[in-house]
Structure 1
């Protein structure tokens, strides 16, 4: 059974990416740096994974993406965040109380990921991406250790460098998305608008409709010292054209933690995505 969830890739005015570090005692992904996000909540999210992403981002980082922006002062935001965390009020109730509209249209789809079959607890996570307004001066903060212990904006390439130096832990979806953003920044003309234009282009094309279910080709996923090759939809081993590479090479450390992930992708993400073999499982939700 797949648990529906959503995550939000937030970029600030400097094109830096927001990651949070999960608490060491978290029930899932302990100590791992992730994009803010979590499990769909039928009582709060109005059958919308975009609402899940907005709610979880607010809970974990304090960033409230709603209109009108800046309507609430710091103390009101902190109080609302605590009330939602303690489930004394729902996210939609908080928005209605303060006459706010969730900025769902600002969330652009940016791939789906399904947990490999080797894992007992499996998620289908929809990743969205959004850009903060150029004049936004919001500061992301952890939730005080309830779920996260830090929240920080850094360039995508810097996050990848920290991971490669084994100073932080990332999972495959984070590496894949951060690498995609880093490549876009290297190849796009200078400026925020060019990066945004390319992200919008991806979100409107086949890239955003990819549903990636890493499937083991060799090695043992999660076994310390092992290098596992996991193939994605569109790889030649998963129905793609001959010679097509869409896969990861992952090295695992103690407790199955990923210590190295190398993404192998030899096609143009704007024009070369093959979706014929990617069939998305239907989540039992009305509006995704």
Structure 2
């Protein structure tokens, strides 16, 4: 008797995409923080990544996976971004919600807090309140006195073929530029010790991260193209976009005014496009393979979880990458029209 179609051949369901968030932290020198993940990491092993990680119950509730809101920017994603940044690099982005001033905690206390939070001995929120009764993660506007501190900058959903999948909200966060006293009221100046400082990130002792460092986005891209570090497509693309605005010149000295102008230009870009980069949802799909064996990834699909929604990705650019043994090499960004034309020209010459 012929076997009924489908008997014993259940289609493998894609893994549920776990919610996570990452932050592209821009220093007072307009440099970007990357972390070097340990070789034993279950994801992005040995790669350089933005600080971030999975949402935890302590970050607050997240809608269920079948709800489109599960993939949307919200308090739990924001809380996780700031918490993971602190755990992985020691950089604390928290404020006194009464005064709006940033929270300053000495290094020894911060290091102890990182360990306790990572070991689940205390929640990030409780630890903050131990330092200051009205302290909270810097995730919200304060009485509309300043711009949103965490700026959404694309959302990525891992392709369904991957055994481990994530739905990751990316954010931009600009640390204040060095203070210009002539442009500020005296009472608005930060305390001594906070002025003109570039924070020094540190690893978490090798638990997940072996190194944490600020460098210009262009320098990170150059290191990746030389094969010195591993950058996966999301990190490479976003660094590529950031570099186009923050690294316009190679001069060693750039004025505060110029750095502010570059930030403003990047902000204008982030809020541009259709949809704007703040609301692009990207689940990479293979478009083709180049003659030299690299995969061309299209970025316009939002992923299966958002099918039927109005979410869309980036239709003009593609990422080229050579995947080898779980690693990503020879990554570049190209215009989609150019990548498609190269294939057609190659066939016409045969």
The TM-score normalised by the length of structure 2 is: 0.68
Contact in 2 for aligned 1:61/1:141 (Cα 8 Å): yes
Change (3 A) 1:199 1:245: closer
> Cα 1:10–1:208, aligned 2, differ >3 Å: closer, same or farther?
same
5 Å matches for 1:13-24? Answer: 13-24=28-39
> Using the alignment, how far apart are the partners of 2:326 and 2:127 within structure 1?
39
Alpha-carbon offset, residue 45 of structure 1: 4.1
Matched, 1:107 2:127: no
Q: 2:89 is matched with which residue?
A: 61
Partners of 2:24 and 2:172 within 8 A in 1: yes
Deviation at 1:7, TM superposition (A): 0.2
* Larger-Rg structure: 2
Cα distance between partner residues in 2 of 1:17 and 1:179: 12
Find 1:231's aligned residue among 289, 298, 311.
298
Give matches, 1:3-42, under 5 Å. Answer: 3-42=18-57
Query: Distance between the aligned counterparts of 1:256 and 1:25, measured in 2?
Result: 12
**SS of corresponding position for 2:59:** coil
Shift of 1:245: 3.5
8 Å CA contact 2:157, 2:166 repeated in 1: yes
CA deviations on 1:155-202 (whole Å, 9 max, x unpaired) are 000000000000000100100000001111355997211122123324
Could you tell me how far apart the structure 2 residues matched to 1:138 and 1:46 are? 31
The CA deviation at 1:115 is: 1.1
Partner of 2:109: 76
Could you tell me how far 1:227 is from its partner in structure 2? 1.4
Query: Could you tell me which residue of structure 2 aligns to residue 280 of structure 1?
Result: none
What SS does structure 1 have at the residue aligned with 2:20? strand
Q: Secondary structure at the match of 1:75?
A: helix
CA-CA distance at 1:44 after TM superposition: 3.1
- CA 1:42–1:226: 2 relative to 1, 3 Å: farther
2:237 is equivalent to residue 176 of structure 1: yes
Match of 1:257 in 2: 327
How far apart are the structure 1 equivalents of 2:266 and 2:331? Answer: 23
Contact 2:27-2:198 within 8 A present in 1 as well: no
Q: SS of 2:334's equivalent?
A: strand
1:75 Cα deviation after fit? 1.1
**For residue 225 of structure 2, what is the aligned residue in structure 1?**
164
CA contact (8 A) 1:112 1:210 kept: yes
**After the TM superposition, which of the residue ranges 11-20 and 257-266 deviates more from structure 2?**
257-266
Structure 2, unaligned stretches of length 5 or more?
1-15, 63-75, 96-100, 141-148, 178-195, 302-314, 338-350
Corresponding residue pairs, total = 254
Contact residue 170 and residue 258 of structure 1 kept, 8 A: yes
For the Cα contact (< 8 Å) 1:39–1:52, is it kept in 2? yes
State the alpha-carbon separation in 2 of the partners of residues 11 and 56 from structure 1.
Answer: 16
Give, in whole Å, the separation in 1 of the partners of 2:271 and 2:288.
33
Distance in 1 of aligned mates of 2:128 and 2:94: 8
How far apart, CA to CA, are the structure 1 residues paired with 2:78 and 2:92?
A: 13
Pairwise CA RMSD of aligned residues? 2.3
Question: 1: distance between equivalents of 2:286 and 2:216?
Answer: 30
After superposition, give the CA deviation of every residue in 1:216-238 in whole Å (9 maximum; x if it has no partner).
12249xxxx8411111117xxxx
In the TM superposition, 1:183-262 aligns within 5 A as: 183-186=244-247, 191-205=258-272, 206-219=276-289, 226-233=293-300, 245-253=316-324, 255-262=325-332
1:186, 1:89 → 2: CA distance? Answer: 40
Using the alignment, how far apart are the partners of 2:92 and 2:61 within structure 1? 17
